[in-house]
A = this chain, B = another copy of it.
Amino acid sequence: MVKKEERAAAESPRERYRAQVRAEIKEHAWQQVATAGASALSLNAIAKRMGMSGPALYRYYASRDDLITELVKEAYRSLADTLHDTAATGADLRALAHTLRDWALEDPHRYLLVYGTPVPGYHAPDDVTGVSDAIMKTLLDACTAALAARPVAPPAPGFLAGHREWAAGHPAPPAALRLALAFWTRLHGVLSLELAGHFAGMGFDPALLFTAELDDLAPR
């Protein structure tokens, strides 16, 4: 009864098929999420569109929440990778912000899946904390660099002196922590209100407001 599949990385054709079907399900799920939001995700509809009948999907995802969790994790990873790639080109904080906005506008529901109202019942799995840390790391790097290049007066550190375990040992000065937090919350404030349609009919371009907030965070 010893598993013989321990032959390192060689995947059996069954596993490859399984992975492919899982990917196809996710693909349909993303399409559904992009058009109607996460709460409108229906396993039945996906199954029908894939030509198989309802319960078959439960071979691939234990539950609807499981699939949604997978989407959340993928979205998180996508954002982390996108930001990391931008940062790797030596981009500054401003470029990072525009990358974030582009990523959000590319698929608004995907952004809301990560940073919006938590979906019905599920709890964010522990897996995302790692990815979340990765996002925070690139953000902290950029903030540290921005402050080193132009030590503009930050919005005052203060309460962060004693609480920096969330930075996961990142060697960023308190001012960088404060800047990263402001970067995150302020840009999310503008972005989420824009994506939720709260600026509709106000007659100004949300992009300009985003840039204005960014100017305050990282002057050009």
Chain A residues proximal to chain B, CB less than 8 Å: 36-37, 39-40, 112, 115-121, 124, 129, 155-156, 158-160, 163-166, 178, 181-182, 184-190, 192-193, 196-198, 201-205, 208-209, 212-213, 215-216
Contacts and interface: CB of A to CB of B under 8 A. Distances in A.
Contacts of A37: 117-118, 120
20 contacts: A36-B120, A115-B196, A118-B196, A118-B197, A124-B197, A155-B212, A156-B215, A158-B208, A159-B205, A159-B209, A160-B204, A163-B204, A164-B203, A166-B203, A178-B212, A185-B186, A186-B186, A186-B213, A187-B189, A188-B192
A63 to B, nearest CB: 16
A212 B159 CA distance: 9
Contacts of A164: 203
For the complex of A and B, the 5 pairs showing the least CB-CB separation, nearest first, are A189-B189, A166-B202, A185-B189, A116-B117, A163-B204
Contact of A115 (B121, B163, B198, B209): B198
A119 B117 CA distance: 10
Contacts of A119: 39
B121 A36 contact: yes
B196 A117 contact: yes
Contact of A193 (B39, B165, B188, B201): B188
Contacts of A120: 36-37, 39-40
Nearest to A114: B198
Contacts of A115: 193, 196, 198
B121 A40 contact: yes
Contacts of A165: 202-203
A112 B121 contact: no
Given A36-B121, A156-B216, A188-B189, 11 more contacts: A39-B120, A117-B196, A155-B216, A156-B212, A158-B212, A159-B204, A163-B203, A182-B213, A185-B193, A189-B189, A189-B192
